[in-house]
Structure 1
Amino acid sequence: MLSGQLEKKGFFIATLITFWYSSNIGVLLLNKLLLSNYGFRFPIFLTMCHMTACAVLSYVSIVFLKIAPFQRIKSRSQFLRISTLSVVFCGSVVGGNISLRYLPVSFNQAVGATTPFFTALFAYLMTRKQEAWATYGCLVPVVTGVVIASGGEPSFHLYGFIMCIGATAARAFKSVLQGVLLSSEGEKLNSMNLLLYMSPIAVVVLLPAALVMEPNVIDVTATLATEHRYLGLLIVVNSAMAYGANLLNFLVTKHTSALTLQVLGNAKGAVAVVISILIFQNPVTFIGIAGYTMTVMGVVAYGESKRRHK
């Protein structure tokens, strides 16, 4: 009886992880496909579509499906903190999407793997939180690997690289800022409720930005939709998958642990790199692969060092 329950639980967790991998990598690949292959050059509008889907589906999941308990905002100051997080989050997603216009997914993932470096930097600057010197030492190959990968990247684009670095830094800044702004027990929100409140705020921020910076987005999208019959469907599926990635991130953490998610996340980047190279056939070099491998090894060592020195 017990072994049967364990088997069912193991199958359930394996299924969750499979869907989590599929949604995360699927969003990344579809973003690249839309922004580079279809002439749909509107990363701000695409991010707004993602946030709109997250707002609607978060409400349905929490209020109607009860996937997570509903948590109310308790004060104006808490709302302002969440709004600040939402703006930073917008910056990270838009920057990441812009970078995909110019960089291959493989290099995008290599740069994105430096998130622990920026997290450690912002944690020290904002909270004076220090790690062991051995832990900081593990960040050396993280940064060195990206420098090496940049030198060996045939499709290197400076603007795309700057946007990717900015997006990675903003993502790290958001995680540290979240810990600072929502640190009290009364103001902590689980990730699904935080997404529920952040998403509509993000839409309000992104809508005028899209209209000003991408003024012809509606006309061009309508024209492209007539040329590519599945473009509208791809945008809808892509937006739904963006929410699914967040939902599955929450469920995998709930049913396993944050450490498991971290390990799976490191592996996910490598899987995304391999799949993207197979699909988009972007050229890679031995130096680029060696640099990315060094970065991933540094990230793994950093995570292990943090765990040991807690």
Structure 2
Amino acid sequence: MASTGRFYTIGLVTSWYSSNIGVLLLNKYLLSNYGFKYPIFLTLCHMMSCSLLSYVAISWMKVVPMQTIRSRVQFFKISALSLIFCGSVVTGNISLKYLPVSFNQAIGATTPFFTAVFAYLMTRKREAWLTYVTLIPVVTGVIIASGCESIADFAFISVFQWLKGEPSFHLFGFIMCIGATAARALKTVLQGILLSADGDKLNSMNLLLYMAPIACAFLLPAALVMEEGVIGILIALARDDWKVLFYLIVNSSLAYFVNLTNFLVTKHTSALTLQVLGNAKGAVAVVISILIFRNPVSVTGMFGYTMTVCGVILYSEAKKRSKAI
């Protein structure tokens, strides 16, 4: 039985890695290499898939019990989280048009830094001093990976003042990636604040069930206005190459399975284990993306990314120790 449970957990982790890295690489391929330059519409496809598959998993397959929205206030809280979630996914997809996956993952690894900042600003929650110290290599690593000459360059992002330590550095893509990382951290903090009351608590699968359709309501008009004619362009592309529809369907399905496997891995292990596995997943994604897309990576960039990952690992350990005290 223990052996069966171990193999089941390994299978879950493998599925989570595969879906997570798969959707990341497919996003990059569609938005950058394939030429489907519509990140808002792509995010809309993801949310439509999450809406449909969440309903199937919860209502039909009974993966988790169905939880209902109990009040109008709770609905508005979920809507606010959904809007921030949309912003994080859209800006993340936009950044993939301009940045290689390796650099994108390096910036994404700074999520703990933004989480700590937002937690302090919004709840005045202080961490142990050791936890804050571990954030120094997290941020320093990204500064090195981006090739900035100094902290001032990183803060003000002067287009005339950075050294191109990362050969594929792109200012707009960098700003979008920072925005996506900050939005993910803000959602995490707000989710803890808004849904902390017993009557408001939802597990991650039910939260996705309600957030995804609301996200679609936000994204549909945005896609039609900001990516004018995208549906007509998609139809024309599908006539010339039907594979674009196949890529979108697979990509959107993987976007849901990222959330499903994330939930199942957490359920069968722990949140801390998920965080540690997530650190390793980022490194794996970087290596695979370099092998597939052949994007140039400088020694400085790899050193900076390695420093960031080490910082995140130290941060996880510091958080674990602070909770144990």
- The verdict on a shared fold, with TM-score over 0.5 as the criterion, is yes
The answer for the alignment partner of 2:245 in structure 1 is 232
| Identity of matched residues, % | 70
| Correspondence list, 1:225-304, <5 A | 225-304=238-317
Amino acid of the structure 1 residue aligned with 2:213: P
Deviations 1:49-91 (A, max 9, x none): 0000000000010011000110001110000000000000000
1:48 aligned residue: 44
> Does the alignment pair 1:89 with 2:89?
no
Trace 1:46-195 onto structure 2 (pairs within 5 A). 46-151=42-147, 152-195=165-208
Q: Distance in 1 between matches of 2:289 and 2:35?
A: 19
Counterparts of 2:27 and 2:301, CA distance in 1: 22
**Deviations 1:250-306, CA, capped at 9 Å, x for gaps:** 000011110110010000000000000000000011100000000000001011001
Report the 3-state secondary structure (helix = DSSP H, G, I; strand = E; otherwise coil) of the residue aligned with 1:185: coil
Contact 1:40 1:224 in 2 (8 A): no
Offset of residue 140 of structure 1: 0.6
Partner residue of 2:322? 309
Name the CA distance, whole Å, in 1 between partners of 2:45 and 2:51. 10
Tell me the alpha carbon deviations over residues 24-48 of structure 1, each in whole angstroms, 9 at most, x when there is no partner. Answer: 0000000000001121000000000
Deviates more, 1:214-223 or 1:285-294: 214-223
One-letter amino acid of the structure 2 residue matched with residue 263 of structure 1: V
Cα displacement (A) at 1:226: 2.8
* Equivalent-residue separation in structure 2 for 1:219 and 1:74 (angstroms): 40
Q: Report the Cα distance in structure 1 between the residues aligned to 2:226 and 2:283, rounded to whole angstroms.
A: 34
Q: How many Å separate the matches in 1 of 2:240 and 2:273? A: 44
Equivalents in 2 of 1:59, 1:213: separation in Å? 29
CA distance in 2, matches of 1:157, 1:85: 29
Choose 116-125 or 31-40, whichever is displaced more: 31-40
Q: Which amino acid aligns with 1:224?
A: L
| Structure 2 residue matching 1:293: 3-state secondary structure | helix
Between the aligned partners of 1:39 and 1:154, the Cα distance in structure 2 is 21
Structure 1, residues 98-119: CA drift from partner, whole Å, max 9, x if none?
Answer: 0000000000000000000000
5+ unaligned residues in a row in structure 2: which ranges?
A: 148-164
Distance 1:174 1:306 in 2: 19
In 1: Cα distance, 2:271 partner to 2:319 partner: 13
Q: Secondary structure at the match of 1:186?
A: coil
Question: Deviation at 1:229?
Answer: 2.8
CA shift for structure 1 position 225: 2.0
CA contact (8 A) 1:266 1:296 kept: yes
